[in-house]
Amino acid sequence: MTHLIARASFVGCALLASMLFLTGCTSGSDGDKAAKESPSSAPSAPRTSAGPSEQKLTEQAQAVLAAIQGGEMVEAGAERVSDGIHTEPTLSTGKTYRLNLICFGSGSARLTVAPESKETPVPCDQSLIQQRLTADKPVRIDVNGTKGSSGMIAWQIDAI
């Protein structure tokens, strides 16, 4: 009796698998069209916006910074606007530096350089922001995206 139940279960599973296989493989041209138009048949990968990828935005922003004639590069990087930039660069006392910052995307961010703590708006419209830094005291650079902003921020500190 146990042998018959096991065999019936196997036959049932095989029949179900065959039906699923045939259903997936026998759609005609009308079925293909419906599958392409049906939102339920879309792949389960996360949807992304129609805008450029983070990698492309980063490459564009870094290319702008690379084209700027400046001094010797001390520190540089690129971050998502949503992550922001938070760094305490090691700068030599008495030297002057220039911070170059650019945001590619949408919305804006806010730049704060301590110890001055003056807030500077950073539009994510590919505008270059430059700020002079002096290393009389330890410097902290924070860039925080505003609500709803997206894209990439690239930055570079040059000794001038």
Question: pTM for this one?
Answer: 0.65
**pLDDT tens by residue, the chain, 160 residues:** 433 333 333 334 433 333 333 333 333 444 444 443 433 333 333 334 446 799 999 999 999 999 987 789 999 999 999 999 999 999 999 899 999 999 999 999 999 999 888 899 999 999 999 999 988 889 999 999 999 999 999 999 999 9
Do residues 151 and 105 make contact, with C-beta atoms less than 8 angstroms apart?
yes
- Residue from 70, 114, 78, 77 nearest 96 by CA: 70
Classify domain 54-159 by CATH number.
2.60.120.1540
